[in-house]
Each structure stands twice: as C-alpha cells, then as structure tokens.
Structure 1
Amino acid sequence: MSERVELQVPGTDVSLGVIRHGHWGRPVLVFPSEAGRADDFANNGMVSAVQDLVDSGRVSFFCVDSADRWTWSDNAATTEERAIRQRAYTGWLEQAVLPWIAGQLGGERPLITLGVSMGAYHAVHFTLTHAHQAPLAIGMSGSYDVTSWHGHGEQGDATYFANPMSYVGGLHGEHLDWLRRAASVLLIVGEGPFEVSPTRALPSTIAFAELLSEKGIPHELDVWGHDSAHDWPWWRKQLAHHLPRFC
C-alpha cells in the first residue's frame, strides 16, 4: 500500500487524499461509500478480497476521499447548492487526481471506476461524463437519482447535469451515439437487507438499468438474492466475482 497523498482541491485551501494499492495492472479509481475516506476500501477487506489480482499485477486501485459532507450529505443545503459543490469535487478529480494517477502509471491509461453505495453514484456518474478517460464503471448498491436524496429547494442546471437519471434521459444525437460506443456500465445490487429501505438501491438500480437499455448504452445488471445485503461482506463477494474478467 502506498502512503496517503494529499491533493489540493482547485480554487480552495482544502485537500483530499488518495491511496494506491497495487504495483501494476488495470487502474481502478475507487470511490468510498457516503462521506467515506480513501482508506475505507482496504479497511473493509475489499483489497484482500481480490489480493491475488493485486499481487499478480493485474490491477491497481487508486482510492479517493469523498467530499460528500459538503455536497450530497449536507442536508442543510438545497439540492442545487449541493450539485454546484459537486462540480468542485469533479474538478479535483480532473485536475489533481487523474494527473497524479497518470504520473504514477507513466502516462494516461483507461480507468475503471468503482464504488459502493453513494460511491456507486460517483463511479457511474464519472464514467458517463468522462468516458474518454474512464470507459467502464462498476456500481454496487447504488442510487442514481440525486433528487431522491432528501433534497429541497428549486433545482436547476447543476442538479440536472449531476443527476444520471436526468441527463441520461435527455441524451440524444451525436453525444448519445458517442456514449454508446465509449462507455459501459456494470450495475450490481442485492435484494436483501437495506437494499430497498432506507437506501432504495434496488429500485433505483433497476430503474437506471431500464433507462440505459432505452438509450442503448452498453450495460449489465446483476441482481443478487434476498440474502445479499447493503454491506461490505457482500460487496467483497461481488467484487471478487466480477473484477477478474476486466483486468
């Protein structure tokens, strides 16, 4: 495991962390669960779940801090305010994290994005808006409609363009054709505890998969059984099941 690296959020005096696991292989940009930190992925056994892939140089994980406490988890702010703040986080990824990863790898390479719970939203959203850099997203137990996240106040352009259920629904023409060629999404969710209430991950994932199907965007939907909970033990199993075919 690499030491934690602090990278400044552009235009602020705030820094967020990145931790690398692995020495070679397909680079995976990992988002934590809601309001989580870069070390959560390893601390919850996700690296160990695919340790053979890491040790054999098939995958490198680049785990980032979230900014959810001042974006989507700040329920005192309106949905539009939170969406505007999300832009700063995206700017950090674009201007700080991706160049740092490229420096680690000796050049730019296509990324997989990966996340659990709210991290699944970040992973899928980043791929759908940056498919030229991250053509594959793996979202586990995610919710993909930000307007359902205890929001309030009027919603404008910032909310629309931060909300996959909205902007994917509005895709058409050349941009949709390009995204059909450039992006692929794997959606994984269970039917067990906490996947319906309170997270609404199951209905949201199914609805989003239906929307991707309507738009012809390549995707897979993998629904696990009623014993599969919204929790790390199941995400470890899902990662170990799916990741080997991508790296």
Structure 2
Amino acid sequence: MKEEYYKWYSPHLNRDVEMLVFGHAGYPVILFPTSMGTFHENRDMGLIGAAHWFIEQGLVQIFCPESNDKQSFYNKGIHPHQRIQNHVAYDKMICHEIVERVRLNTSAAKVAMAGCSFGGYHAANFSFRHPGYVGHMFSMSGAFDIRNFMDGYQHDDIYYNCPLEYLPGLQDHELWNMKIVLGTSNWDICYDSNIKLHHVLNQKGVPHWFDVRQDKQHDWPVWRDMFPHYLSTIKFD
C-alpha cells in the first residue's frame, strides 16, 4: 500500500502543515483525525488498515491532514473570537490547499469527507458548508455543536460553523445530491447529537443513512468496522 508524506507552508494557517496520503489512485477521501489529532493518528489507530483493500485496489486515495484544534477550539488561552477565526482559517486551508486540488481526480470533481468523533464534526461541517465539493460524507460518532467551546461568545462565524444551527436554512441543491452517512451507536456519547442532525436532515427531506450500531462504545473498534462499510457505498468512477 503506497504511503506518502507531505509537508508544506500553509498561507492560510501561517505555519507548516503535515499530511499522509495512502494509495496510488481512486476516489479522494479526506479523513480528519479526532480531537487535536495528528496527521498519522488514523494510520496508527488502524483506520487506514481497515480500508486497505479499497486502497490497494486503487478505488480510493485517502488524505490524512493534521488537525488545527489545539490552535482553535481547544485553545483556552486566547479569546473565543480568535478561536473561531483560527478554525475558519483551517476550513480555508482544507478547501483551497487540499480539496480544490485533489477533487479533479474524479470525473465528478468531488471528494468524500470522513472522520471519527470530533473528526466527524469536521467532515460534516465542511461538507455542509461546501456541498458543491463533496459527493460523500461519512461521520462516525460525530458531535455537531461547538458552542461549548465558545464561552458564551456570539459571532456569525460561530453560527455558520454549527451545522445544527445553519443547516435548517441551507438551500444549496448540492446538499440533496450528497451521499450522507451518520454512524453512531446506542452507547455512543455522541448519540444525542447524531439524533438531532438526523432529525434536521429528515425535516429538510435530505436523503441519508442513519446507521445506529448496537452496544458499541465511542471508540476505534466500531469506527474500524464502519469505515470500510461506508467506503463500499461510494460509486467509484
């Protein structure tokens, strides 16, 4: 299985960014790490190994960028305004420095977004903010409310990065073309958040698969089961 390491200076983050890429060809999948995770976390925790067949067959190519959570949501040493601005800069980095380049690898010029836990938030939030770029979205035990990171501070950029808040008013027709999977479990600490997003999508009439596993913890074993299952739903081209 081909593995490549990339490091570059990001003009959006004003710092170096690291990323691992797995595979030689196929549908591009942007796979976010969990909270404050590294670019190699998904490999180290076996998620890449769980998807090895799809990678080796040239069906998918998986891009694993590092997170920016330590500089944004989890940085209690700066004002909440700067926290959300640092996240907005990360969103721009993902969009302009990764997605806009790799999406041309498919005839549809789209990518898949995926992530576990807080990575599921990043996958969902990017997908709903930029639905024209995303053909598939796989959130595994995601949480979708960032208000608890903002200490009560109010700002439009916070609203427009809370999917449960801005999604009800979203009218971009590409949202209805996206293949959406919400993976969770009845034992998942983020189960209630997934129920809420499931209801919002239902109210809008947006097709999606609400996959509730039974008696599984919010942890890597269930995500390693989910990820290859969800990859199998991609219409490879």
1-structure distance, mates of 2:185, 2:140: 9
Q: Judging changes above 3 Å, is the alpha-carbon distance between structure 1 residues 153 and 245 closer, same or farther for their aligned structure 2 residues? A: closer
2-structure distance, mates of 1:138, 1:91: 20
> Secondary structure at 1:208's aligned position in 2?
helix
Stretch moving more, 14-23 or 112-121 = 14-23
Stretch moving more, 160-169 or 91-100 = 91-100
More strand by share: 2
Q: Say whether the 8 Å CA contact 1:121–1:139 is kept in structure 2.
A: yes
Q: Say whether the 8 Å CA contact 2:27–2:106 is kept in structure 1.
A: no
Cα deviation, 1:25-78, whole Å, max 9, x if unaligned, reads 111011100111121111111121121111111111011110000111123445
Task: Report the counterpart of residue 117 of structure 2 in structure 1.
Answer: 117
Task: Report the counterpart of residue 157 of structure 1 in structure 2.
Answer: 156
Q: Judging changes above 3 Å, is the alpha-carbon distance between structure 1 residues 132 and 203 closer, same or farther for their aligned structure 2 residues? A: same
Stretch moving more, 229-238 or 90-99 = 90-99
Q: Say whether the 8 Å CA contact 1:128–1:183 is kept in structure 2.
A: no
2-structure distance, mates of 1:52, 1:11: 34
Could you state the TM-score of these two structures normalised by the residue count of structure 2?
A: 0.90
Task: Report the counterpart of residue 182 of structure 2 in structure 1.
Answer: 187
Task: Report the counterpart of residue 59 of structure 2 in structure 1.
Answer: 58
> Secondary structure at 1:24's aligned position in 2?
coil
Q: Say whether the 8 Å CA contact 2:12–2:92 is kept in structure 1.
A: no
1:204 correspondence with 2:193: yes
Task: Report the counterpart of residue 229 of structure 1 in structure 2.
Answer: 217
Task: Give unmatched runs, 5+ long, in structure 2.
Answer: none
1:128 correspondence with 2:128: yes
Query: Aligned AA for 1:127?
Result: S
Q: Say whether the 8 Å CA contact 1:78–1:153 is kept in structure 2.
A: no
Q: CA deviation at 1:184?
A: 3.2
Q: Judging changes above 3 Å, is the alpha-carbon distance between structure 1 residues 107 and 39 closer, same or farther for their aligned structure 2 residues? A: farther
Q: Judging changes above 3 Å, is the alpha-carbon distance between structure 1 residues 78 and 221 closer, same or farther for their aligned structure 2 residues? A: farther
1:245 correspondence with 2:230: no
1-structure distance, mates of 2:99, 2:128: 16
Stretch moving more, 7-16 or 213-222 = 7-16
RMSD of aligned alpha carbons = 2.1
**Sequence identity (%):** 26
2-structure distance, mates of 1:124, 1:219: 12
Cα deviation, 1:115-162, whole Å, max 9, x if unaligned, reads 000000110111111111112210000101111x34303211010111
Task: Give unmatched runs, 5+ long, in structure 1.
Answer: none
2-structure distance, mates of 1:239, 1:25: 16
Could you state the TM-score of these two structures normalised by the residue count of structure 1?
A: 0.87
Cα deviation, 1:148-189, whole Å, max 9, x if unaligned, reads x34303211010111101111333xxxx15144333321001
Q: Judging changes above 3 Å, is the alpha-carbon distance between structure 1 residues 151 and 168 closer, same or farther for their aligned structure 2 residues? A: same
